[in-house]
Structure 1
Amino acid sequence: MSAAEAEGEVTLRKAVVIGGSVAGLLTGQVLSAEFDEVVVIDRDNLDATNSVRRGVPQGRHPHTLLRRGEQILNTLFPGITDDLIRHGAVVMPMDRVWWWQHRGYRAAVPDAAPIISCSRPLLECLVRERVRGNGAVEFRSGETVDLISRGGAVTGVLVRGPSGTSTAIGADLVVDCSGRRSRASHWLTELGYPSPEVQLVESDVRYTTRIFQRSTSVRTDGAAGYFVISDPKARKRFGTAMPVEGDRWIITLAGLHGEGAPADLAGYLSWAQTLPTAKIASIIEDERPVGAAVRYRLPGSEWRLFHRLAAHPRGFVCVGDSVCSLNALYGQGMTSAAVQVVALQQALARSPVTHPEFARTFYRLSARAVSPAWTTATGADFVYPETRGHRPWPTNIINRYVTKCVVAGQHDSTMATSLWDVANMVKPPASLLSPPALVKTMRYSRRGPLRSCKPITPR
């Protein structure tokens, strides 16, 4: 024990998190193990219960917690999956998740871990309760208007509260989790640091979501959920139907490059009937709609390359969509935030936040963590010739090979499992190039799409 500790003169170490969404909540949980006090600041009132927040415009749309994200959440919050299920989240066995792509259904994978399906508000609410319960995290409502700095280091934030008054909050570390609209680049420039290069992949994503009652009488053929991707040579359309709490379906019809579904029910059904399988349209026909449709538009994917900067201010880093925001169609957003939070945890274990190399260490770990998700998401977008942005030279070659993998996965459950592992960020995309995967891909892809009316099951 130091002399200061013996005399009771310990100065509390404080961290501030800008943004109380999933990335901010997970960051707050990790920081609470390292700091005496953590303050999470969000424009919304985070005391609100399980409801869609104004600051999360995509909160009414489906959100998939990929297997890797679920693993991280259960590490940070033991038993969180059980909590979700107790509150109505639906367990989707992988042999009952029907995935249509390249003119056929992916083979069933009964041995894979199930997907836990729930609404975004329910997930946020339960995670927020866990974070609040650890006693070290305080939630405040307000807008972060500026960083406070001294000698090139960030020492806190200036927050404008609901009443319009501004308050300064000092901190040893400020983490920006404010999302795609982050002001980090502007703040860095004001501090005299360069702003990061930004990679953009423009796919013009438009999606329309409707909620329907979920009964046992619909024509699902025993499926727990559907993911449908039209043949890219024909259309740029997607459809998903997932069960969520409250005996509801959440159905999204989406498209790229101007392909957007109408909001009215008749137009919505008509658009769904253009998908290559009629399963989602049959749910829309059979079930009762709940509320109006909601729409959302996203330019595409965006990666701020902080890891390429030569210098960073001490006491400031970014996590989540503030760094890497992905095409929401592929369901990687929350898991991408989770792997970045693990990178933050690793960086905190390697050096103190006051060390000049802390930010550089974190951003390098973070880039390594999100790179596989970026590769798969943007690679899928570049299947469409209208997509614009940074396209690595082997993208077209990789996409042709992945198409063969998908076709092979219609015939063989082992290949289907490999594809699910990559999609769930459990294994890297390079795992599809392993010798066994290469052999199966070459063997089965020659047969062409399976064109079955349902996924095959392993013998």
Structure 2
Amino acid sequence: MWERAIVIGGGFAGKLAAKALSSYFQQVNILEADREYKDPVPRKRIPQGYQPHVLLKSGEEAIEKLFPQFTDELMKNGSIGSNFTRDLKWHHFGFWKDRFTGDLNMVQQSRPMLEWHLQKRVDRVSNITTRYETMVKQLIVNRKQNKVLGVLVKSFKTGMEEELYADLVVDASGFGSKSIDWLKTFGVEVKEEKVWIQLFYATRLYRLKKQERLDWTNLLISPSFPENPIGASIQTIEENRFSVTISGYANDHAPQTNEEFFAYAQSLPVSDFVNFLTQAEPISDIKIYKIPNQVRRRFDLARQIPEGFLVIGDAHCRFDPLFGQGISVAAMEALELQSCLHQTKRLDIGFTRRFHKNIAKQIATPWEMAITEAFRHPKIKGKNSFLLPFKHWYTKRLYQASAHDPFIYITLARVMNLIRTPLHLFHPKVVTSIVFGWQKKNV
């Protein structure tokens, strides 16, 4: 075992990375800028904590490998179990998808509950410690050997600065990461790929006025550009609550009042969302979160990144949260970190570059899925491939065909959950249905 690893940031990516590191380092220190928290409530430094979060099947499986029986603990403490193709009522490109019991069983809950349970599991690992109210100011690097030595930190409690040394430093500090600026001081340039989506999320918690039984667990009305630019979702979470969200792209106005929230609901192509709101009562304020862009930072292409400095999670790539990919990709990256450490004997011979290249492959698929859909919006522009018109034609037909073809729907669901590659969308049965037509049904 190596002596010490430092993880910058105690969010999802940081906790998962710390667990992956704990089998290979005597000490793992998480440095978290926020205060310690004892209850499953939104954290001050996590403004998106009020918004709905999805744990894809790939993420659930990755977390389960790092923390066995994790999903069992969630279920015992109030998480909601659902079957993806049976319990999700989904309107997409003009059609409701037929519902049936498939093989994708999921767990769902609020973000604070998921993160709180993850923190409790981290606290049980004897060689992981979390140091709160601590900000990392700079990397410490041996320039001659181009090797990271540790970090310079500042305590919010005392105002004191100190140097902390380590064999490996993992930046999991989220989109606000300073890693690109830190690397610039050592002459390392990291390119960024950006798609300006100007997305807003407006979320409010509701309870049903009467304990009526709904015939769905989740309701999703996907934006279908250009016909329907507004997205809406209702997610059942713990304590008989519903996380109700309206989203819009390209700098649309976010609803801030009851009247605006309801007006957006009325603008949707189907009435189910409005029907729910009339049966429910709000139990929170409207919480708005805005994401100006999707950003992929190409650490895999950068040269001379100091050995022993790794970047994961949103610090590496921030996805469009509408697709629910961020937590799951972070979990998959943590597993990849564990695998890379298992296969290496030294941390100073191309280890950093190999790791970044490996997770770049994991990032590529969800990134491509998200930006392909974003470019359907007439106001969203960016660098794209000449294949984009074909992708838009094929996937639109795919989405519509999946509404009434169980094989296509379950194939799509597996790809969306990152447990199958997009190549499965070109299975002969899928291609045949799309190329030679599919039976339209009424909305």
Question: How many angstroms does 1:214 deviate by?
Answer: 4.0
Given the alignment, which residue of 23, 41, 52 partners 1:33?
23
| Residue aligned with 2:48, SS | coil
Larger displacement relative to structure 2 (292-301 or 309-318): 309-318
Q: State the distance in 1 between where 2:100 and 2:419 align.
A: 15
Question: 1:338, CA displacement in angstroms?
Answer: 1.2
Aligned to 1:236: 229
Query: Which residue matches 1:183?
Result: 178
**TM-superposed deviation, 1:280:** 1.8
Matches of 1:165 and 1:282 in 2, distance apart?
56
Residues 33-72 of structure 1: CA deviation (Å, up to 9, x unaligned): 1100000011112343211112211010000000100011
- Output the CA distance in 1 between the equivalents of 2:363 and 2:57: 15
CA distance in 1, matches of 2:92, 2:213: 20
Aligned residue number for residue 358 of structure 2: 365
Distance of aligned partners of 1:246 and 1:363 in 2 relative to their CA distance in 1, 3 Å threshold: same
Q: Hey, what's the Cα distance between the residues in 2 that align with 1:413 and 1:12?
A: 50
Q: How big is each residue's C-alpha offset from its partner over 1:340-375, in whole Å with a ceiling of 9 and x where there is no partner? A: 212212221232452220011101110111111001
After superposition, where does 1:103-122 map in structure 2 within 5 Å? 103-122=94-113
Distance 2:88 2:398 in 1: 18
CA shift digits 1:369-426 (9 cap, x unpaired)? 1111001111110111211222122122112100111111011111110111111111
CA distance in 1, matches of 2:397, 2:196: 25
* Contact 1:237–1:259 (Cα < 8 Å) also in 2: no
Q: Which region of structure 1 is more displaced relative to structure 2, 137-146 or 434-443?
A: 434-443
Give SS of 2:50's match: coil
Structure 1 residue 273 displacement after superposition: 1.4
1:300 aligns with 2:293: yes
Distance 2:196 2:228 in 1: 17
Q: SS where residue 200 of structure 1 aligns?
A: strand
Deviations 1:74-99 (A, max 9, x none): 11111111111111111122212111
Match of 2:322 in 1: 329
In structure 2, what is the equivalent of residue 160 of structure 1? 154
Contact 1:107 1:410 in 2 (8 A): yes
CA distance in 2, matches of 1:157, 1:76: 26
Distance 1:87 1:123, change over 3 A: same
CA–CA distance in structure 1, aligned partners of residues 69 and 435 of structure 2: 41
Q: Give the corresponding residue for 1:5.
A: none
Structure 2 runs not aligned, ≥5 long: none
Q: Counterparts of 2:71 and 2:313 in 1: how far apart (Å)?
A: 22
Cα distance in 2, alignment partners of residues 425 and 49 from structure 1: 31
Of 13, 35, 44, which aligns to 2:3?
13
SS of residue paired to 1:16 = strand
CA distance in 2, matches of 1:145, 1:281: 48
- Which position in structure 2 is the counterpart of 1:43? 33
Q: Rate the CA distance shift 1:183–1:298 in 2: closer, same or farther, 3 A.
A: same
Secondary structure of 1:154's counterpart equals strand
Task: Give distance in 1, aligned partners of 2:98 and 2:289.
Answer: 31
SS in structure 2 opposite 1:39?
strand
**Residue 242 of structure 2 aligns to a residue in which SS?**
strand
CA distance, structure 2, for counterparts of residue 153 and residue 126 of structure 1: 35
The counterpart of 2:267, out of the listed 266, 274, 299, is 274
Superposed counterparts of 1:402-417, under 5 Å: 402-417=395-410
How far, CA to CA, are the matches of 1:181 and 1:231 in structure 2?
Answer: 30
**What SS does structure 2 have at the residue aligned with 1:36?**
strand
Greater displacement, 128-137 / 353-362 = 353-362
Which of the numbers 37, 61, 64 marks the counterpart of 1:74?
64
1:216 Cα deviation after fit: 6.0
Task: Give 1:72's aligned amino acid.
Answer: A
Alignment partner of 1:271: what SS?
helix
Pick aligned residue for 1:441 from 409, 434, 439: 434
Deviation at 1:267, TM superposition (A): 1.7
Q: Write the distance in 2 (CA, Å) between the matches of 1:277 and 1:427.
A: 31
1:133: which partner in 2? 124
| Percentage of pairs with the same residue | 26
C-alpha contact (below 8 Å) 2:5/2:21 kept by paired residues: yes
- Decide whether aligned partners of structure 1 residues 49 and 353 sit closer, same or farther in structure 2, where only a CA change above 3 A counts: farther
1:100 pairs with 2:94 = no
RMSD of the TM alignment (CA)?
1.6
User: CA–CA distance in 1 between the matches of 2:254 and 2:228?
Assistant: 13
Distance in 2, matches of 1:414 and 1:130, equals: 38
Check whether the contact 1:218–1:287 (CA below 8 A) recurs between aligned residues: no
Paired with 1:119 and 1:230, the residues of 2 have a C-alpha distance of 23
Tell me by how many angstroms 1:177 deviates: 0.4
Task: Report the equivalent of 1:4.
Answer: none
In 2, are the aligned partners of 1:206 and 1:255 still within 8 Å (CA)?
A: yes
Do the aligned partners of 1:225 and 1:241 also contact (CA within 8 Å) in 2?
yes
- Are the counterparts in 1 of residues 66 and 335 from structure 2 also a CA contact under 8 Å? no
What's the secondary structure of 2:354's corresponding residue?
A: helix
Task: Choose 44-53 or 142-151, whichever is displaced more.
Answer: 44-53
Decide whether the 8 Å contact of 1:202 with 1:301 is kept in 2.
yes
Distance (whole Å) between structure 2 residues aligned to residue 424 and residue 153 of structure 1: 37
Q: For residues 12 and 416 of structure 1, what CA distance do their matches in structure 2 show?
A: 46
Unaligned regions of 5+ residues in structure 1, if any? 1-10, 453-459
- Secondary structure (helix, strand or coil) at the match of 2:25 reads coil
Judge conservation of contact 2:141–2:306 (CA < 8 Å) in 1: no
Which is further off, 397-406 or 386-395?
A: 386-395
User: Which deviations, in whole Å up to 9, do the C-alpha atoms of 1:301-322 show, x marking residues without a partner?
Assistant: 1000111123221110100011
**Offset of 1:132 from its aligned partner?**
1.2
The letter for the 2-side match of 1:113 is L
1:143 to 135, 138, 148: 135
Secondary structure in 2 matching 1:13: strand
Counting only pairs closer than 5 Å after superposition, residues 201-216 of structure 1 correspond to structure 2 as 201-214=195-208
Instruction: Tell me, yes or no, if the aligned pair for 1:177 and 1:321 is still in contact at 8 Å.
Output: yes
The letter for the 2-side match of 1:130 is: R
**Residue equivalent to 1:90:** 80
**Equivalent residue number for residue 172 of structure 1:** 167
User: How far has the Cα of 1:165 moved from its partner?
Assistant: 0.8
Letter in 2 for 1:335: S
| More displaced stretch, 68-77 vs 434-443 | 434-443
